Chains A and B, each alone.
Chain A
Amino acid sequence: KPKLYYFDGRGKMESIRWLLAAAEFEEEFLETRDQYEKLLQGGSLMFQQVPMVEIDGMRMVQTRAILSYIAAKYNLYGKDLKERALIDMYVGGTDDLMGFILMFPFLSAEDKEKQRALIVQKATSRYFPVYEKVLKDHGHDFLVGNNFSWADVHLLEAILMVEEKKSDVLSGFPQLQAFKARISSIPAIKKFLEPGSQRKPVPDDKFVETVRRVLRMYYDVKAN
């Protein structure tokens, strides 16, 4: 089974957990600086960073590399180069959107309010309209090639994360509302959305404190 090394929280690992939702995986949670230093000294972290995923005899790092490998391995990457290109483009967009949310817990209270507004503005004016149109134009259930892919998982994850910042954010996007319901009902995804799954909750102060303590970084994060 793949083994994930990260904090007990979302961060950059969450997209990987989502994509592995159909497969089973183990997790080792970083809680202390010592654990992290041990991983470093053991040479397990190519660029001294997590996420790190042990999979198929490799110690993979770099979120996007890991996600691409998993997508290809589990046939979630389209049927040819052009479908892969579309998936990569769509995932690039949702990744940029989730990037605004990634740093959110580390911001000051004042910056959080500004960032929340920015997240909602980017979602509703730049990103959601794209996927709304894609779905409307082809009328299929899935974003690419009429087949479930990484792009669909990533978009659902992004939608749910933005909704956590503004619950009615999908109100102008009927296609995305239907998409959300459809993808959420796929058995593996449905299971991942239920309590007791390996999905992590919204990051809290404890998560921020753990990251700062283990990495000795991110003490003074500014908004975009």
Chain B
Amino acid sequence: MSGKPRLTYLNGRGRMESIRWLLAAAGVEFEEVYLETKEQYDKLIKDGFLLFQQVPLVEIDGMKMVQTKAIMSYIAGKYNLYGKDLKERALIDMYVEGISDLMQMILMFPFSPPDAKEKNIESIKERATNRYFPVFEKVLKQHGQDFLVGNKFSWADVQLIEAILAVEEKVPAVLSGFPQLQVFKTKMSNMPTIKKFLQPGSPRKPPPDAHYVETVLKIFKK
């Protein structure tokens, strides 16, 4: 047991990617176990590793944590990425939950039928540009600070940079109306831990492809 957190998931983004981002941003090294077969998954369940029979699973500090939000809240709390008090935490939670709603659309995208893909990209673009990005553009403009909350790097910043890059993969010019977010993107990308995560060879996973979708369906089929 190396003492490093151990992540169990498929070899792809899915719901684990935000956790990888947060650990990486916090400068925490971690190990990964990749689910490739249904048998592996069934064994994890049989051995009682998965509280609700689901992944992500993160083994950390003697706990077998499941539930993406729970895991990220713990990591944010542990590594001081959760603000300095209850009110900052409330802001971070609001921002993260909003971004998570946008990320949910991206999460589901690979599993939508081919004839719905174009419509879904339009929806992602619409939500990003009309609902979510304007909020953070305004927040940054109003306080003029580098980070979203409390003038300090937090979980909210990590979640936002992840989302910006994910949306850009689908809608390349999406930041064109958002000068603050463009600056934010550059600043965050240059933070040492994030810069390292964005380089080849990091634990960051590529956009989901057909093989990933196939693996998900195979492993989790009822």
A: residues with CB less than 8 A from B are 46-48, 56, 58, 60-65, 68-69, 72-73, 81-82, 84-85, 88-89, 91-93, 96, 126-127, 130
Could you tell me the distance between the alpha carbons of A127 and B73 in the complex, rounded to whole angstroms? 21
Contact A60–B53 (Cβ < 8 Å): no
**Chain A binder among B16-24, B59-67, B175-183:** B59-67
Q: Determine the residue in chain B with the shortest Cβ distance to A92.
A: B67
Chain A: CB-nearest residue to B132:
A47
**CB neighbours of A62 from chain B (8 A):** 93-94, 97-98
Nearest CB on A from B52, distance (A): 5
Q: Are B89 and A81 in contact (CB under 8 A)?
A: no
Question: Could you tell me the dominant secondary structure of chain B's interface residues?
Answer: helix
Complex contacts, A72 vs chain B, CB 8 Å: 86, 89
A46–B135 Cα distance when bound, in Å, is 7
Contact of B90 with A by CB under 8 A = yes
* A82 to B77 Cα, complex, angstroms: 10
Residue numbers of B with Cβ under 8 A of A are 51-53, 61, 63, 65-70, 73-74, 77-78, 86-87, 89-90, 93-94, 96-98, 101, 131-132, 135
Give the distance to chain A from B150, nearest Cβ to Cβ, in Å: 14
What are 27 A-B pairs at a CB distance below 8 A? Answer: A47-B131, A47-B135, A48-B131, A56-B87, A62-B94, A62-B97, A64-B93, A65-B97, A72-B86, A73-B86, A81-B77, A85-B65, A88-B74, A89-B51, A89-B65, A89-B70, A92-B52, A92-B66, A92-B68, A92-B70, A93-B51, A93-B52, A93-B67, A96-B52, A126-B53, A130-B51, A130-B52
Q: How far is the CA of A130 from the CA of B51 in the complex (A)?
A: 7
Cα–Cα distance between A14 and B65 once the two chains are bound (Å): 27
Contacts of B63 in A (CB 8 A): 82, 85
The residue in A65, A81, A93 that gathers the most chain B C-beta atoms within 10 A of its C-beta is A65
B99 CB to nearest A CB, Å: 10
Q: Which chain B residues border A85 with CB–CB below 8 Å?
A: 63, 65, 70, 73-74
- Among candidates B61, B74, B94, residue contacting A84 with C-beta atoms closer than 8 Å: B74
Given A60-B94, A68-B93, 19 other A-B residues pairs in contact with their CB atoms under 8 A: A46-B135, A48-B131, A58-B87, A58-B90, A61-B98, A62-B97, A65-B90, A69-B89, A73-B86, A81-B77, A82-B63, A85-B63, A88-B69, A92-B52, A92-B69, A93-B67, A126-B53, A127-B52, A130-B52
Given A46-B135, A62-B97, A84:B73 Cβ within 8 A: yes
Question: Chain A residues near B74 (CB, 8 Å)?
Answer: 81, 84-85, 88
3 smallest beta-carbon distances between A and B, as pairs: A92-B67, A88-B70, A65-B93
B96 and chain A: residue at smallest CB distance: A65
- Distance in Å from the Cβ of A131 to the closest Cβ of chain B? 10
B90–A84 contact, CB under 8 A? no
Complex CA–CA separation, A127 to B54 (angstroms): 11
Instruction: Establish whether residues B86 and A69, one from each chain, have CB atoms under 8 Å apart when the complex forms.
Output: yes
C-alpha gap A61/B66 in the complex (Å) = 25
B95 to chain A minimum Cβ distance, whole angstroms, is: 9
Residues of A within 8 A of B67 (CB): 88-89, 92-93
Query: How many angstroms from the CA of A60 to the CA of B94 in the assembled complex?
Result: 7
Q: Which residue in chain A gives the minimum CB-CB distance to B53?
A: A126
Tell me, rounded to whole Å, the shortest Cβ–Cβ distance linking A147 to chain B: 18
Tell me which residues across on chain B come within 8 A of A88, comparing CB atoms: 67, 69-70, 73-74
Q: How far is the CB of B25 from chain A (nearest CB, A)?
A: 18
Nearest-CB residue, chain B, relative to A127: B52
Chain A contacts for B52, CB-based, 8 A: 92-93, 96, 126-127, 130
**From A47, A82, A84, residue with most partner B Cβ within 10 Å:** A47
Residues of B within 8 A of A68 (CB): 73, 89-90, 93
Please report the C-alpha to C-alpha distance between residue A69 and residue B86 in the assembled complex, in whole angstroms. 7
**What residue in chain A is nearest B101 (Cβ atoms)?**
A47
Residues of A within 8 A of B78 (CB): 81
Instruction: List chain B residues, Cβ under 8 A from A61.
Output: 94, 98
A218 to chain B, nearest CB (A): 15
